[in-house]
Structure 1
Amino acid sequence: MKILVTGASGFIGGRFAKFALEQGLSVRINGRRPEAVEHLVKHGAQFVQGDLGDPLLVQRLCRDIDVVVHCAGAVGVWGNYQHFYQANVTVTENVIKACLGQKVRRLLHLSSPSIYFDGQAHVGIKEGQVPKRFSDHYGATKYLAEEKVFAAEALGLEVIAYRPRFVTGAGDTNIFPRLIDMQRKGRLSIIGNGLNQVDFTSMQNLNDALFSGLMDTGPALGKVYNISNGTPVPLWDAVNYVLQQLNLPPVTRHLPYGVAYAAATLNETLCKLLPGRPEPSLFRLGVAVMAKDFSLDISRAQQHLNYAPQVSVWAALDEFCQWWKATQSAPRLTH
């Protein structure tokens, strides 16, 4: 089997490309940063650099490919709608057209549980519980991209979409690095009572779910799947566990939810008025994410993908910490 992994210079795409190579698959990769995929090329991946906004490039990428694993896209909360639409919807449309044009058999699409975010607590949320309106441009455009993917099924493309929650492990540059930086600067506080429980996903478990999507047939196809470790943990326990492993002081200071939300509202408003609209240091959505319970129902993945999380949240956090310490202690080149 020959697969294409987009977004391979990012955390999830890079980790899955490595995993696929280890399983003996032929892997072509695309990403924004050539230096970030050197290790994959050394292990046999074929790297094709270029912008997925270019339809002709995407057609070339998909030539002689059996399955595309589409991990590329824009993430974040801040930015205009057009930026997110281009990176998450237009690029996905280019990938779909290339899959159809090059007779690719299957498309695995990496979506996001940000689709569900509405500032409220959710426990065991199911795939069909999509809000009537989305909280940000990221969630809105990820859902639009999903709709494009599933529309392609009627044209003969086999499709599966994934919504993995808080993915972590070696290579995570999104969740814990930001929290570590805030704590080092003395800006991290427990929002609310600190008892909120949330889902994480070990990258190793997500690899298993994606690999099942490469191989499974029949009832597994044509569906979107929540992916997590299936065992919510207290968010601030996880944060302090990581800080302890890295010999950093724990977060002990509490900030009432209402105060944090008001501060985030003010921060966002000021940044919208400033020249260049700089990114705020605090977002209303981020305050809700850090203060509310949030977990996914993964029964559909368990039933149709035979998904059974093998790696615990704590093992995934250990893996992240070991990687983080290694990267921080590695010698830096000077010029």
Structure 2
Amino acid sequence: MKILVTGASGFIGGRFARFALEQGLQVRVNGRRAEGVEHLVKRGAEFVQGDLTDPELVQRLCQDVEAVVHCAGAVGVWGRYPHFYQANVGVTENVVEACLKQRVRRLVHLSSPSVYFDGHAHVDLREEQVPTRFSDHYGATKYLAEQKVFGAQEFGLEVLALRPRFVTGAGDTSIFPRLINMQRKRRLSIIGNGLNKVDFTSMQNLNDALFSSLLASDEALGKVYNISNGAPVPLWDVVNYVLRRLELPPVTRHMPYGLAYAAAALNEGVCMLLPGRPEPALFRLGVAVMAKDFSLNIERARRYLDYDPQVSIWTALDEFCQWWQGQRPA
């Protein structure tokens, strides 16, 4: 099978492209940074550099491939709506159109559980429990992108979408680096009582889910899937585990949720008024994420994708810590 992986210069896209090559697939990759995919090219991937906002480029990318795994997109909390819309919705529209015109058989779309975020605690969330209003531009545009993908079913494209939660492992640059740097500066505090349990996903488990999505039977098509390790863990135990592995002091200081939320609101307000609207160090949504229970029901993925997470969060954290230490100067 020949596949295209978008966003291959990023963490998830790059790790899956490598995994697909190891499984014997022919892999074409796209990314903005050539240096970010050198390791894939050395393993046999075909690299086509370019911006996915260019419809003609996307048409070329989709020529002669059987399936597309679409991992590219904008992430984050801070920024203007047009930026997130173009990167998450506009680009996905280009990918869908190219899949249809180039007769690609299947599109596997990487979405996000950020579509569920509303600032409240949630346990065992099912895929249909999407709020009527979204808390941020990222979640809103990721949900819109899903709708663009599922809208292509009526034209014969086989589609699936995955919403993996807190993906970590070697190469993760989004979850722990900011926390590590904050703790080095002694600016990290446990928000609330520190007992909130959340889901994580080992990158190795997500690789299995993405690969299964490429091979899944017809009954799996046209659905969105929650993906996680299926075993919520206390968030601050995880944070302190990583800090201990990196020989940093654990977080012991607590901050009341209300105080942290008010500080985040003030921080955001000040940054909105500053020239260039710099990104705040603390967000209201981030405060809620770090203080509230949040877990996903993964029974649909177990049933239709034969998803069975085998790699524990602790193994994934060990993998991340070993990689992180190898990236930093001695």
TM-score (norm 2): 0.99
Q: Distance in 2 between matches of 1:17 and 1:182?
A: 31
Give the CA deviation at 1:210.
0.3
Q: Distance in 1 between matches of 2:32 and 2:121?
A: 35
Which residue in the other structure is 2:108 paired with?
108
Which residue in the other structure is 1:258 paired with?
258
Give the CA deviation at 1:49.
0.3
Give the CA deviation at 1:269.
0.5
Give the CA deviation at 1:185.
1.2
Q: Distance in 2 between matches of 1:33 and 1:293?
A: 36
Which residue in the other structure is 1:144 paired with?
144
Which residue in the other structure is 1:83 paired with?
83
TM-score (norm 1): 0.98
Q: How does 1:280-291 map to 2 (within 5 A)?
A: 280-291=280-291
Q: Distance in 1 between matches of 2:219 and 2:302?
A: 12
Which residue in the other structure is 1:273 paired with?
273
- Aligned AA for 1:149? V
Which residue in the other structure is 2:234 paired with?
234
Q: Distance in 2 between matches of 1:329 and 1:126?
A: 43
Q: Distance in 1 between matches of 2:62 and 2:218?
A: 23
Give the CA deviation at 1:146.
0.2
Which residue in the other structure is 1:185 paired with?
185
- Aligned AA for 1:160? L
Q: Distance in 1 between matches of 2:298 and 2:33?
A: 33
Q: Distance in 2 between matches of 1:143 and 1:231?
A: 25
Q: Distance in 2 between matches of 1:89 and 1:52?
A: 11
- Aligned AA for 2:9? S
Aligned residues: 330
Structure 2 residue ranges without an equivalent (≥5): none
For each residue in 1:26-61, what CA deviation from the matched residue of structure 2 results, as whole angstroms up to 9, or x when unmatched? 000001111111000000000000000000000000
Q: Distance in 2 between matches of 1:198 and 1:253?
A: 20
Which residue in the other structure is 2:197 paired with?
197
After the TM superposition, which of the residue ranges 49-58 and 215-224 deviates more from structure 2? Answer: 215-224
- Aligned AA for 2:57? L
- Aligned AA for 1:129? Q
For each residue in 1:38-87, what CA deviation from the matched residue of structure 2 results, as whole angstroms up to 9, or x when unmatched? 00000000000000000000000000010000000000000000000000
The 4+ residue runs of structure 1 with deviation greater than 2 A are none
Which residue in the other structure is 1:65 paired with?
65
- 1:30 is paired with a residue whose SS is strand
Q: How does 1:122-137 map to 2 (within 5 A)?
A: 122-137=122-137
Q: Distance in 1 between matches of 2:23 and 2:256?
A: 48
- 1:48 is paired with a residue whose SS is strand
Structure 1 residue ranges without an equivalent (≥5): 331-335
Q: Distance in 1 between matches of 2:187 and 2:177?
A: 14
Q: Please, what is the CA RMSD of the aligned residues?
A: 0.6
Q: Distance in 1 between matches of 2:247 and 2:23?
A: 36
For each residue in 1:196-217, what CA deviation from the matched residue of structure 2 results, as whole angstroms up to 9, or x when unmatched? 0000000000000000001111
- 2:128 is paired with a residue whose SS is coil
Q: Distance in 2 between matches of 1:11 and 1:259?
A: 34
- Aligned AA for 1:282? L
Q: Distance in 1 between matches of 2:264 and 2:32?
A: 31
Q: Distance in 2 between matches of 1:44 and 1:182?
A: 39
Q: Distance in 1 between matches of 2:294 and 2:266?
A: 25
Q: Distance in 2 between matches of 1:189 and 1:28?
A: 43
Which residue in the other structure is 1:333 paired with?
none
- Aligned AA for 1:47? F
Q: Distance in 2 between matches of 1:114 and 1:145?
A: 13
Give the CA deviation at 1:329.
3.7
Q: Give me the identity figure in percent.
A: 78
Is 1:303 matched up with 2:303? yes
Q: Distance in 1 between matches of 2:267 and 2:32?
A: 31
